[in-house]
Amino acid sequence: MTDSKRLLLLAVFLLCIADPLYAQYTLVLKNGRRITVQSYREEGAMIKFPGMGGEIGISRDQIQTIIKAGEADSRGMSIQRLEATPSAPPPTTRTEAAQPPKVEAEGGVKEKALTPEERLAQERAKEEKEFQNKVGQLTDQIKALRDRYAVATRGSSGPEPTLLQTEEAIKARTDDLMSRLRDTQFNPSGPSDAGGIKLSTPSTFSGVPPASVEHRAGRIPPQVDVPRTGYSNKEKELSDLRNQLNQIQRDRERLIEQMKQKNFDTGSMFLE
C-alpha cells in the first residue's frame, strides 16, 4: 500500500472518532431551562459536569431528561460558551440616556389668544361683578338695620302692621316719635336726603291698609337762647340707627348710579 493511501485511511479514521470525542449533551431541567455541557457523570443523586473552572452538580430530581447533541435543538445556557465568553463590561452611560424625557414647554393645549374686544368684555364683566358684590353687601346691611329698627320701635321685624295694644308698644312708638323730633331740633334743616316723619295709623277694618301721614319739619332757625332737651338713651339709639341706615342707603344709591353710567345691568337691584 502506497503512502498516499495510508494517509487517506488515517484521515477517515480520525473523522470517524472525532464525533464521540467532541460529543455534547443538553440537560433539560424541569423548569424549562436547558444547559449544554461537554460531558457529565452520575454520582449518587447528583449529575455533575465540568464548568466554571471546576465541577458543577445538579440534583437528579431537577433534571427532566438528558439529550445528546443533534437529537434536538440545544437552546439554553451553554457551559462552554459561558466559560469562553469574557464578562461583558458595563454599558457605557450615554448622555442621551441620562437626560430626562423632554416635556413640551407649552404644557398642553395653548390658550386661545383673546382679541382686544374679547379682553375688554372680560374686564367689563369682572368690574360689573365687583359692583354687584358691593351692592349686595350694602343691601344685606340695610336689611339687618331695618330689622333692628323695626324690633326697637314695633317689637316685630315683619312687614305686617302692629297694633299699639301694650304699654311697651306705645312707649316704643313714643320713643321713635320723640327721637325724630329731637333730630329736628338739633338739625332743623335735616340731612339733604331726609324725608318727613311718617306716622301710620292702623285701620279698624280688616283688609284695609293703615293710613300714613307724613310730617315735614319746616326750616326753623336754631334757638340758641332756649335750652334744648337732650336725647334719652332709647331716643339716641334710634337716632343713631336712622343715621347709619341713611348713610348706607346713600352709599348704595351712589354705587348703582355709577353702574348706570357704565351701562351695567341694575334691573334686579331694587330694594324692597
Residue pLDDT, tens place only, 28-63: 888 888 888 888 888 888 888 887 778 888 888 888
Residue among 236, 245, 214 at smallest CA distance from 150: 245
Architecture of domain 8-84: Roll (2.30)
Residue 188 in grid coordinates: 332743623
Residue 133 scores a pLDDT above 80: yes
The reply to whether the predicted model has a pTM over 0.85 is no
Residue 266 scores a pLDDT above 50: yes
- Label the pairing between strands 25-29 and 197-201: unpaired
Helix (H, G, I), strand (E, B) or coil at 116: helix
Residue among 178, 263, 184 at smallest CA distance from 216: 184
Average pLDDT over residues 79-96: 51
List where CATH 2.30.30.100 sits in the chain. 8-84
**Which pLDDT band, with edges at 50, 70 and 90, does 11 fall under?**
very low
The more confidently predicted of residues 163 and 157 is 157
pLDDT of residue 48: 86
pLDDT of residue 10: 53
